[in-house]
Structure 1
């Protein structure tokens, strides 16, 4: 039976396989390995691996959350847009998720999120 760490590592590979999200987690290993362990065990295995909601929906929710946080979450927004695409979300779903945040996150955050999305879409040739 796999540990929570191993399950989290597997999900990280599935969502971000070698892309920005995985690099963001791994690059903190030399700064705070406990944070990496918590991310893998709690966030990925403990929350993202829960039954009841598919990974695409979870990624769209994370995109919305990153939009509301604004520029402080730009790297995470990039990673979650990429992961949402990997999980089967389409460009229109991502655009609508970002646009939905207009009245909650503000025009500046939405505008900046669209810029991040545009960059990811270009990288993915979408």
Structure 2
């Protein structure tokens, strides 16, 4: 039993490190802020976030970080209730090479599947991030 526990810890550290590497590329400040917020209530949650989505899923072959972030922006837009996470991933998308135009087009596309209110909310979140960063959007 102890061997399994040690193996789990080693694998967990590897997953965590991979996750941190991906987070550094995408949005390191966001993760640090999340880690600080969760530290007072659920410190393990920040580790779970680093390990599973960013260590396991974002590290898989087949899609680059740019594509993964565009898919994530689309998904969060369709939820319509994850504005903070959407803003974080708009930052992440820009940090890994997405253009403002690509992000806006992905969000507009979601009007077809999630409705206009979700797409408009997504566009407002993206607008906030673009303005915060001083990014220009070519109309």
Q: How many residues align?
A: 124
Q: Name the residue aligned to 1:121.
A: 130
In our comparison, the structure showing a higher alpha carbon Rg is 2
> What are structure 2's unaligned runs of at least 5 residues?
1-9
Which residue of 2 is the match for residue 55 of structure 1?
A: 65
Which of 117, 121, 125 is 1:108 aligned to?
Answer: 117
Secondary structure of the residue that 2:60 maps to in structure 1? coil
Alignment of 1:39-50 (within 5 A): 39-50=49-60
How do 1:79-118 residues align onto structure 2 when only pairs under 5 Å count?
79-118=88-127
Aligned to 2:39: 29
TM-score for the superposition, normalised by structure 1: 0.90
Displaced runs of 4+ in structure 1, greater than 2 A?
Answer: none
Q: CA deviation at 1:94?
A: 0.3
Inter-CA distance 30–13: structure 2 relative to 1 (3 Å threshold):
farther
After superposition, the CA RMSD in angstroms is: 1.6
